Amino acid sequence: MFSMPFFVVLPLFGAFLITFLNSVVSNKKIRYFLNDFFAVLFTGVLFALSFFTIGKKGVYYIGGWVPPFGINFVLDGLSSLMLVVINLISFCATVFSIDYMKQYTAKRYYYALFLLMVAGMNGVVLTGDFFNLFVFIEIASISSYALVAFGTEAEELEASFKYMVMGCLATVFILFGIAILYSKFGILNMILISKELTGGVDPLTKFAFFLLVIGFFIKAAVVPFHAWLPDAHPSAPAPVSAMLSGVLIKSLGVYALVRISFSVFSFEASLPLAYLGIISMIVGVLLALGQMDIKRLLAYHSISQIGYILLGLGIGTPLGIIGGLFHLINHSIFKSLLFLNSGAIFYRTKTRNLEEMGGLHSVMPVTGTTSLAASLSISGLPPFNGFFSKLIIILACVEAQHYVFAIWAIVGSILTLASFTKVQKFAFYGENKNWRNIKEVPFFMCFAMVFLALLCLLTSLLLLPYFKEAFLLPAQKALDIGEYIGLLK
């Protein structure tokens, strides 16, 4: 279990190294090259490392201090699944930013903040200590607030402020919940608290749980708490939007929520989660239908797809949980790809308005084709990955005899298809009025998009028995409370 601390240490070191090198190296060209090189190197190494965590389990004691005195990192199936997803998307987003971020100044700060955000998210999925969880959530969120405001245009600052107020509210609630838990148990270790809680839950602990869940709902942008997301995600630079929609709301929101409610509190009446999922799913997609700003439309779809994930997890049967987790992986792949596509369009045309685009498929074939693959994935058409995960979730609904849920899930999927038909028609097909002379985007941007588009097809293979046993089933089993307590002897 030697590799665990590297997921936090490496990006932190990388963030330091990049800012440090920029103040030492005087040659401008070398400096710019080093920025890109180290950012890609660090995220690439993390991506490679994350594959070695698959199928492993264990606990790492920081500084050799055994709980309850020290902080520990816990690795199980769910954590390793999240690690692979986070580092995959961060690698692709970094490769994409090599060319894309040339539009902005101060690339070094961008990479430093980006790596800090990755460190925070990796920490959230690895930590086994409540206060440590809070600290990592703050690291990831503070850097994301700064990244949303990175362009420092009026709208971006406004969105960032709104996001910050909501995000800080969430973390204040989370800290409050953690303080109450500490007053009750006198320990902060998640596994030990989970052991204490097996006897039963008293009102004070329920209140703490309530506060924690409210905090994570805000972070995950579930519908009553979603107001910040459609402002914050479109305002960020495209690779950051891809990170925010692709993994940040999942690792800080869904993962933490699931870990706390299933593993620590052994929360069984999860149907409220499924109801919230349905509401998010329908409200998100209905709001998305009317949007003409491509990134804003994608942000509303994030709310809707988070609804699918919560629905799968909320049904609580093994099949439902597998569907939810599979959809989590798929959504982070195709949603990041869609945001990168919108970034590629913006790079060439400087517009996000769908009405001003048109006929881009003929001039930007790579962007057009990858975006078509992602749109088909998110609308749930075979053979792309989105079809299989939605199918599993709907089958799980039917199996658990929640037929109404299944019908709503299908309705949501049809509305998604309608909305993406609109995107394809306005942006890539139709008449090319204004954009006859633009070219395809540079190589690195194409590379990131093609890579993700191939993954849209290849992740369907995760359902084959061999991959399923290696990757999805351990994650599903990790949510079992006995399994979680058993990690700490």
* Interacting residues toward other proteins by CB under 8 A: 131, 135, 138, 142, 145-146, 149, 152-155, 157-162, 164-165, 168-169, 172, 175-176, 179, 182-183, 186, 188, 230-231
Taking the complex as a whole, how short is the minimal distance between the CB of residue 430 and other proteins, in angstroms?
25
Cα–Cα distance, 278 to 158 (Å, whole number):
30
In terms of CB distance, is 30 or 165 closer to other proteins?
Answer: 165
Distances (CA, A) of 414 to 295, 390, 391, 400, 431: 20, 12, 13, 22, 26
Taking the complex as a whole, how short is the minimal distance between the CB of residue 295 and other proteins, in angstroms?
12
Cα–Cα distance, 475 to 82 (Å, whole number):
9
In terms of CB distance, is 24 or 154 closer to other proteins?
Answer: 154
Cα–Cα nearest to 272, from 318, 319, 225, 222: 222
Q: What are phi and psi of 129, to 5 degrees?
A: -135, 135
In terms of CB distance, is 22 or 189 closer to other proteins?
Answer: 189
In one letter, which amino acid is 238?
Answer: A
Q: How many CB atoms lie within 10 A of CB 434?
A: 13
Taking the complex as a whole, how short is the minimal distance between the CB of residue 477 and other proteins, in angstroms?
33
Cα–Cα nearest to 452, from 398, 358, 375: 375
Q: Residues 391, 384: contact at Cβ < 8 Å?
A: no
How would DSSP label each residue in 321-366? HHHHHHHHHHHHHHHHHHHHHHHHHHHHH---BGGG---HHHH-HH
In terms of CB distance, is 54 or 168 closer to other proteins?
Answer: 168
In sequence order, what are the beta bridge partners of 189?
129
In terms of CB distance, is 48 or 172 closer to other proteins?
Answer: 172
In terms of CB distance, is 1 or 168 closer to other proteins?
Answer: 168
In terms of CB distance, is 153 or 202 closer to other proteins?
Answer: 153
**Secondary structure of residue 117 in the 3-state scheme:** helix
Task: Count CA atoms closer than 13 A to 253's CA, side-chain side.
Answer: 28
In terms of CB distance, is 177 or 320 closer to other proteins?
Answer: 177
Q: Residues 54, 473: contact at Cβ < 8 Å?
A: no
Cα–Cα distance, 396 to 390 (Å, whole number):
10
